[in-house]
């Protein structure tokens, strides 16, 4: 695995990171060369109404892979038996607007089924081809970085 560091911009370059990286997982769900984007609902604490992939904080005592599989089941209703493949991607070090670092463990889950069962964290999901992700203008800022990392590994092109 490799780690990609995104360069900070503006005033973020001036000071050191405020805290150690927070660890999260980001899972891209694929089905027949399409990817699922999930719109974050009003019940979540941040990034409401924005399109994203499956995400979650890595809980203490849980491996990133175990956390990713748990988030898939909670947020999309996909159990390991529903997956044709589950691939580990890159680890990304991303800084947020405040300069805080986030260590993102990326994964690609290839679903055997089209129908997903979303939980309260999302109010909708859509299947799209990677080349059309840019049409979702209201997406989480770091989604493109996750997509580039995971889709290049799986052989699917994103533009």
Question: So what's the pLDDT on residue 99?
Answer: 86
Please enumerate in sequence order all residues whose Cβ is within 8 A of that of 43, keeping only pairs 6 or more positions apart, or say none: 120, 121
> Two tokens at 97?
């607007």
The residues, ordered by sequence, that sit 6+ positions from 141 with a Cβ below 8 Å of its Cβ are: none
- Within the chain, which residues score under 50 in pLDDT? 1-12, 17, 155-159
- Quick one: residue 54, left, alpha or beta (phi over 0 = left, psi -120 to 50 = alpha)? beta
The confidence score (pLDDT) of residue 20 equals 81
CB burial readout 53-79, b (16+ within 10 A) else e: bbbbebeeeeebeebbbebbeebbebe
pLDDT at 153: 52
Residue identified by tokens 């805290």 is: 19
Q: What global pTM score does this model have?
A: 0.83
Question: CB–CB of 50/64 below 8 Å?
Answer: no
Tell me what percent of the residues of the chain surpass a pLDDT of 90: 68
């Amino acid at each position: 695995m490799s780690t990609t560091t995104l360069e900070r911009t503006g005033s973020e370059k001036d000071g050191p990171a405020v805290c150690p990286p927070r660890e999260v997982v980001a899972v891209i769900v694929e089905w027949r060369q399409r990817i699922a984007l999930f719109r974050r609902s009003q019940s979540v604490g941040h990034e409401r109404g924005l399109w994203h992939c499956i995400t979650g904080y890595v809980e203490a005592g849980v491996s990133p892979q175990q956390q990713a599989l748990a988030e898939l089941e909670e947020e999309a209703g996909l159990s390991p038996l529903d997956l044709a493949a589950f691939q580990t991607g890159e680890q990304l070090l991303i800084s947020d607007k405040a300069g805080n670092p986030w260590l993102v463990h990326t994964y690609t889950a290839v679903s055997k089924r089209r129908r997903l069962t979303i939980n309260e964290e999302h109010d909708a999901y859509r299947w799209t081809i990677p080349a059309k992700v840019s049409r979702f203008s209201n997406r989480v800022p770091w989604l493109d970085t996750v997509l580039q990392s995971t889709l290049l590994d799986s052989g699917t092109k994103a533009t």
